Amino acid sequence: MNIRKAILLGVAILAGFGIVYTGLTYARPYTYQGSLIEPPVPAPDFDLVDQYGHPFRLNEYRDKVILIFFGYTHCPDVCPVTLTDFKKVKAQLVEKSKDVVFVFITTDPDRDTPKHMLNYLKNFDPEFVGLTEERSSMEPVWQDYGVYQEKVDIGDPENYLVDHSARTYIIDKNGNLRLTYLFGTGSEVIAEDVAHLLSEN
């Protein structure tokens, strides 16, 4: 074998290794960055009222990826930060965002009427869904999702605070609870996970 043929053979072998390595790299399963629920569990269904006074039933939104956060409109910190992050997630998803529903569920039904929800969510994105109901209807939903909420008396019965858990939940297109995120998780992380969920068959 002359030197030219040996060089060409060596290049071909290296190219073959490159193709195999690339194939193995792209074949790796996606690793979700949130807290993965494995195996997935059906998301507890609920019937609540949105900011326009219309009924909202979770099971009617199959084939959509749903992000849920529990909070309240008088929240001074965690809730507006999370809704701002939701807005960033939506922007990062671009066209894919049409298949995502962003849901804000109250932990303060005594003050969060549909009208309050409507005015509040206009500050972030009018397409976000704000859900509320009487306390008796909210309590089973909080319980099903493991949500903690408690009024905090600050000396003014009209302007109390509400301590509440601060976790974002993601439901896939099959209605399964798939991921949760702690408060402060970057919007780019959530957007990447949501984009992958949208690509699933």
User: What CATH number does the domain containing 120 carry?
Assistant: 3.40.30.10
Max CA distance (Å), the chain? 93
19 and 81, same domain (yes or no): no
Note the pLDDT of residue 152.
92
Note the pLDDT of residue 3.
53
6 and 80, same domain (yes or no): no
Which domain does 13 fall in, by range? Answer: 1-30
Q: Please state, as a whole number, how many other Cβ atoms lie within 10 Å of the Cβ of residue 27.
A: 7
**C-alpha to C-alpha distance for 90 and 100, rounded to whole angstroms:** 8
Pull the structure tokens for residue 128. 């976000």
14 and 49, same domain (yes or no): no
149 and 192, same domain (yes or no): yes
Pull the structure tokens for residue 119. 């005015």
Note the pLDDT of residue 9.
43
Domain total for the chain?
Answer: 2
25 and 73, same domain (yes or no): no
Residues of the chain short of pLDDT 50, as ranges, are: 4-25
**C-alpha to C-alpha distance for 166 and 147, rounded to whole angstroms:** 8
Contact 134, 109 (CB under 8 A): yes
Note the pLDDT of residue 69.
98
Contact 199, 65 (CB under 8 A): no
Task: Write out pLDDT tens, residues 157-192.
Answer: 788 999 999 999 999 999 999 999 999 999 999 999
Note the pLDDT of residue 201.
73
Q: Which amino acid is at 64?
A: K
Beta bridge partners of 162: 151
92 and 149, same domain (yes or no): yes
161 and 98, same domain (yes or no): yes
100 and 15, same domain (yes or no): no
Our measurement of the distance from residue 61's CA atom to the centroid of its chain's CA atoms, rounded to an integer in Å, reads 14
**Alpha-helical runs (H) found in the chain:** 3-27, 78-93, 114-121, 135-144, 187-199
Note the pLDDT of residue 102.
98
25 and 39, same domain (yes or no): no
79 and 174, same domain (yes or no): yes
Note the pLDDT of residue 200.
85
What does pTM read for this prediction? 0.85
54 and 150, same domain (yes or no): yes
